[in-house]
Each structure stands twice: as structure tokens, then as C-alpha cells.
């Protein structure tokens, strides 16, 4: 079939193409402007340093500060001078012995974890920081009920230390399906039961949105229902734990609005592993997505 193009139709197609190019240029310009836009101030932004392991901490703190972040986290006490030098805080302090797998659900671990809090809590308080992470540990055949009792027993030794120094012990909710097989504190309801059993404002939960999407979904309703037990939030793209953009299944602006609506005053930390070569551009994008 032969087609015949008149001068008028040719000009029409050219005009349409020009408009499309103009629209693309405008869109790119808007995206660039958005990337450099000042933050709105309703979210306290943080970032987990481990996701950017190749970037030296000093350099990373400068980049985080320039993006408008207030915190670089999951650092240990020896890192405090660097973040403070750049006017930042460490919104979640790490370093608890036993890590994720050997936690508070076994009494044999309690003494060393309590000793860590005795040593670390006053240093965290002196630095002006607040949250210190802890973990349930793996089940290794233990029932959820026994784990609840053991964790509560250990935390009732830790909470008086936290109350004395005005800091908070925060247990992270992690998925046991993809990343942390056999981890006990893998459902929000279990974590809430532990909070109720401990009964102190100085023990709360770290609600990791990535992990809880994998385990239970229903993110916004869960946040609205249990927000009083949540001291801190982490982000991450599902599936894959990468950028929190249109490549994944969670819509973070709506989640962040739900968090803001609860009156939350703590920190939201980016904890995705960038796939792109420009990791800091991915971080900046993630922060802008969450800045509602």
C-alpha cells in the first residue's frame, strides 16, 4: 500500500514531534528541579550507611548533609565524631553483640547484650542521640511464645538502663522469607506483644517497610493501627531491596503521608541498595520520593 503525505499532514506530524520533545524536555527539567528542591520538613530523613559501603564515611556525611538529611545511621560509637562534625546525628546506633541471629530470645545472650547497653547508652545520650538497635535472634527450634518470654526477660534488664539515660532500645522487624531465615521478630503483631509485655516507652520497634511488605503487606493499615509502638522506619524497594521508584510495588508517597498523619516525630531512613552506578543520585531520588 502506498501512502501519500500532504504538506499539511507533514507539518502536523512535525509539530506533534516538536511538542513531544518539548514535553520530554520539560519533564526532565522538572525532575532535575525536583531533585534539588528543598525538603518540606515533615519527615526527618536518615540513611543507612551500609548500603553505600564504598563511599568513605566523611565523604558520605557531606553528601547526606547537602541533600538535606539529618542523620546517617547504623553506625557505632567510634563513628560519632564524624557525623557530629558535619552537623548530623546517628538516628539508630548499631553494634549490639550477637547481631541479628543471636539475640534476646536466649537467656545465654542476655549478659553480653545488657553489658553493651550499660556501656553504650551513656555515650549515646552524651552525643545527643537516642535509639540503639537490638534483635530477637533466630528461632532455632524455639517457639514464638518462649521467645517472647525470653526477649521480655532480657529487655526488662535493659529498659532501666535506657530510662536512666533517656535512650530507647529498638527491636527491628525483619523478614524471614528472603533475607533472614528463621528470624523470630518477623511479624508486627509479635513485636507489639513484646512491647506490651515489656511495658516501657523506652522499648519500641523499628518498622522496616521492605521487610514487612514481604512478610505481611497491609503496610498503611498496620502503621495506623500500631504506630504508637514504632520508634523508627526503614525503606526499601520490593522486590529486590533496590531503588524505591516506579520499578517496585510499593508507593512510598502514600506510606509517608500515613506516617506523617500519625504525628510521628522520629526518623525515616533510606535502606535500599542502589543498583545504579550513581548511588548518591538514587539516594537523592529516594529522599525526594519520601518527602511529602
Supply 238's cell numbers.
520490593
Give the integer Cα–Cα distance in Å for 266 and 248.
25
Q: How many CB atoms lie within 10 A of CB 241?
A: 21
d(CA 112, CA 118): 10
CATH (residue range 40-290): 3.20.20.150
pLDDT of residue 122: 98
Please report the pLDDT score of residue 19 as a whole number: 44
Is 233:170 a contact under the CB 8 Å cutoff? no
Cell representation of residue 42: 515533615
Where do the domains of the chain lie?
1-36, 40-290
Q: Please give the pLDDT value at position 37.
A: 73
Q: What is the pLDDT of residue 32?
A: 41
pTM, full prediction: 0.88
Cell reading at 243? 531503588
**Alpha carbons 244 and 287: distance in angstroms, whole number:** 9
CA quadruple 80, 83, 88, 93: dihedral positive or negative? negative
Helix (H) or strand (E) holding 48: strand 44-48
Instruction: Please tell me the chain's helix, strand, coil percentages from 3-state DSSP, rounded to the nearest 5.
Output: 50, 15, 35
pLDDT in tens, 140-174: 999 999 999 999 999 999 999 999 999 999 999 99
pLDDT tens per residue across all 292 residues of the chain: 433 444 344 434 444 444 443 443 443 443 444 456 789 999 999 999 999 999 999 999 999 999 999 999 999 999 999 999 999 999 999 999 999 999 999 999 999 999 999 999 999 999 999 999 999 999 999 999 999 999 999 999 999 999 999 999 999 999 999 999 999 999 999 999 999 999 999 999 999 999 999 999 999 999 999 999 999 999 999 999 999 999 999 999 999 999 999 999 999 999 999 999 999 999 999 999 999 9
CB 27 within 8 A of CB 258: no
Q: 256-291, pLDDT tens digit by residue?
A: 999 999 999 999 999 999 999 999 999 999 999 999
Amino acid at each position: 500500500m502506498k501512502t501519500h503525505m500532504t504538506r499539511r499532514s507533514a507539518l502536523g506530524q512535525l509539530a506533534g514531534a516538536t511538542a513531544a520533545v518539548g514535553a520530554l524536555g520539560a519533564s526532565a527539567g522538572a525532575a532535575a528541579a525536583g531533585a534539588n528542591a528543598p525538603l518540606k520538613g515533615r519527615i526527618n530523613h536518615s540513611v543507612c550507611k551500609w548500603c553505600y559501603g564504598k563511599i568513605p564515611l566523611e565523604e558520605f556525611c557531606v553528601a547526606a548533609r547537602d541533600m538535606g538529611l539529618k542523620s546517617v545511621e547504623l553506625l557505632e560509637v567510634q563513628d560519632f565524631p564524624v557525623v557530629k562534625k558535619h552537623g548530623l546525628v546517628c538516628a539508630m546506633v548499631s553494634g549490639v553483640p550477637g547481631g541479628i541471629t543471636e539475640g534476646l530470645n536466649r537467656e545465654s545472650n542476655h549478659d553480653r547484650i545488657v553489658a553493651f547497653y550499660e556501656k553504650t547508652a551513656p555515650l549515646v545520650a552524651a552525643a545527643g542521640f537516642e535509639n540503639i538497635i537490638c534483635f530477637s535472634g533466630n528461632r532455632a527450634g524455639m517457639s514464638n511464645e518462649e521467645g517472647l518470654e525470653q526477649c521480655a526477660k532480657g529487655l526488662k534488664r535493659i529498659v532501666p538502663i535506657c530510662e536512666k539515660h533517656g535512650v530507647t532500645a529498638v527491636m527491628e522487624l525483619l523478614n524471614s522469607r528472603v533475607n533472614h531465615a528463621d528470624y523470630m521478630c518477623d511479624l508486627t503483631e509479635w513485636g507489639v506483644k513484646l512491647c506490651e509485655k515489656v511495658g516501657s516507652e523506652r522499648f519500641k520497634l523499628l518498622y522496616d517497610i521492605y521487610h514487612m511488605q514481604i512478610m505481611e503487606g497491609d503496610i498503611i493499615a498496620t502503621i495506623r493501627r500500631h504506630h504508637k509502638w514504632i520508634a523508627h522506619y526503614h525503606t526499601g524497594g520490593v522486590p529486590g531491596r533496590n531503588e524505591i521508584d516506579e520499578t517496585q510495588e510499593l508507593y512510598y508517597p502514600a506510606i509517608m503521608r500515613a506516617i506523617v498523619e500519625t504525628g510521628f516525630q522520629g526518623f525515616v531512613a533510606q535502606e535500599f541498595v542502589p543498583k545504579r552506578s550513581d548511588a548518591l543520585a538514587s539516594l537523592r531520588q529516594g529522599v525526594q520520593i519520601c518527602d511529602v
